[in-house]
Amino acid sequence: MVWPRKLFVILLGGINALWFTLTEHQQIAGLTSDAPAPMLAKVMAGGSLAMWLLVILLGRLLPTFASTGGGSTSSTRSARSTQRSGGSKV
Examine the pLDDT at 87 and tell me if it is beyond 70: no
- pLDDT number for residue 79: 53
**Does the reported pTM lie above 0.85?**
no
Going by C-alpha positions, the residue among 51, 44, 47, 43 that lies closest to residue 10 is: 51
Pick the more confident residue, 68 or 19.
19
Examine the pLDDT at 58 and tell me if it is beyond 60: yes
CA separation (Å) from 68 to 2, 41, 62, 63, 72?
11, 41, 11, 10, 6
- pLDDT number for residue 49: 96
